[in-house]
Amino acid sequence: MPSPTPPPPAPPRRALDAVRSTLAPTGPVARPLTTATMATSLSSGLFYTVSALFFTTVVGLGATTVGLGLTVAGAVGVAGSFGAGYLADRVGASRLLLGATLGQGLALLAYVLATSTTAFVVTACCAVGFRSMQGTARQAVLARTSTGPERMAVRARLRVVTNVFIGLGTVLAGAALLVGTAAAYRSTMLLAGALVLASCVPLARLVRGAGPPPEPLDLASATTTTPTAPTTTGRSPLRDRTYLAVTGLNAVMAMQFGLQTVGVPLWVVTRTPAPPVTVSALLVLNTVLIACFQVRASRGTDDVRAAGRAVARGGVLLALACGLHAAAATGSVVLAVVLLVLAATAHTAAEMLTEAGSWGLAFELADPRSAGAYQGVSQTGYSIGTMLAPLVVTATAVDHGTPGWALLGTAFATVGALTWVVARTARRPEAAQVLQHERG
């Protein structure tokens, strides 16, 4: 008698489970953060796509004025990142996140009323300042509500959500570009502000569930083995040489984002035979790869040494990407496109590794009793790096070609190696070790 035909295998559920855990997590902190991130990232995609045209063609500002105004706003953002860390330790990270989000939403709406240079600069300072405060507050929320692999997984999923929804926002903003009228640009700016305000709804639920600061983690128990001992203030990050060293190195590594958003587009259009549409294809490739592999790349980086190795590997891949970008300036159109795709792939892999490593170092080397202050310092370094990146990238790779790319590649590889050296010798604060032990 022939054996019965086996039933067909059940469809794989791993991919569906991964999508569900990313877009609809069940955690009391992860779910509201994810929902809010969807709205704010969609807003960012809309804003980044139409803002420059809105400021120049609708408001009537000159391109130089816009550039200078955003530079001033960037400096305010650096201050906001730093100050928000200490504020988070005093009023509660989730409360600060809600307040900063509300402020940014109102500032984005105010752009449509900014009809003068002064009004534009003031509005931009508010919008960028509150956005930077959001970044610090979000990191502080994660630092205070989870530890270890769980924290890294949530942070990686949030980054996936950010990239995907910024991409969706960019696509939606294409409708305004197609219409090309002042009303279309103004409506898109209003929608960007409304989406940020809508993200306050899930964040308000997060605040209601947080209780009075300090938030869910019992940070007092991490300072002593005696349960009845009073809560003590943690170490200042400004006196933590190891943390400051890691922050400074990460500031340099963060310039890779300026390379991706400013340097590569200018390089492709002005110095390679590749068609301009290649820039869009490379950004899509970046988004897809991050959506597929960022969570995997972050696994294990809650260990300080593993985080340092991840950053070192990322630095080598960034150096490789720089070399491939430089090579794309010679040869045929087909060869240039192939080299640019390879460069974008290497750069995206480096981006995932360096981001995961920097999160691990920023979280695990911080004193949990001063979680906000530490994350504020970390975010300040990141803000400085992204603020200086356009100037550094254009002054090296775009202006000087292959020698400039070589300089950037060498810098990234060196910074990655130095980060690994620091991570190998770094020790987690005693309070963080106790807290990790108590949480299993």
Rounded-to-integer distance, Cα 394 and Cα 108, Å: 28
pLDDT per residue over 201-257, tens digit each? Answer: 999 998 886 444 444 454 444 443 332 333 346 789 999 999 999 999 999 999 999
Answer yes or no: is 223 within a domain.
Answer: no
b or e along 163-201 (b: 16 or more beta carbons within 10 Å of the residue's beta carbon)?
bbbbbbbbeebeebeeeeeeebbbbbbebbbebbbbbbe
Answer yes or no: is 20 within a domain.
Answer: no
Share of the chain above pLDDT 70, in %: 88
b or e along 17-31 (b: 16 or more beta carbons within 10 Å of the residue's beta carbon)?
ebeebbeebeeebbe
Q: How far is CA 210 from the centre of its chain?
A: 24
* Domain limits for position 287: 237-438
pLDDT per residue over 176-196, tens digit each? Answer: 888 889 999 999 999 999 999
Rounded-to-integer distance, Cα 103 and Cα 97, Å: 10
Q: What is the mean pLDDT of residues 67-80?
A: 91
Q: Mark whether 151 and 280 lie in a shared domain.
A: no
Q: Mark whether 206 and 155 lie in a shared domain.
A: yes
Supply 275's token pair: 């068609």
Note whether 160 and 291 are within 8 A (CB). yes
Q: Mark whether 198 and 247 lie in a shared domain.
A: no
Q: Mark whether 189 and 275 lie in a shared domain.
A: no
Residue 24: what pLDDT? 81
Rounded-to-integer distance, Cα 299 and Cα 314, Å: 15
Residue 309: what pLDDT? 97
76 pLDDT more than 70? yes
Residue 401: what pLDDT? 94
How many Cβ atoms from other residues are within 10 Å of residue 233's Cβ? 11
Rounded-to-integer distance, Cα 403 and Cα 401, Å: 6
| Model pTM score | 0.86
pLDDT per residue over 382-433, tens digit each? Answer: 999 988 998 899 999 999 999 999 999 999 999 999 999 999 999 876 555 5
Answer yes or no: is 127 within a domain.
Answer: yes
Q: Which amino acid is at 129?
A: G
Supply 164's token pair: 């995907």
Q: Mark whether 150 and 282 lie in a shared domain.
A: no
Q: Mark whether 205 and 308 lie in a shared domain.
A: no
- On average, the pLDDT of the chain sits at 88
Q: What is the mean pLDDT of residues 155-169?
A: 94
Q: Which amino acid is at 141?
A: V
Residue entry with tokens 């809600």: 98
Residue 37: what pLDDT? 96
Q: What is the mean pLDDT of residues 10-27?
A: 74
The DSSP-derived string for 136-167 is HHHHHHHHHH--HHHHHHHHHHHHHHHHHHHH
Residue 391: what pLDDT? 87
pLDDT per residue over 308-321, tens digit each? Answer: 999 999 999 999 99
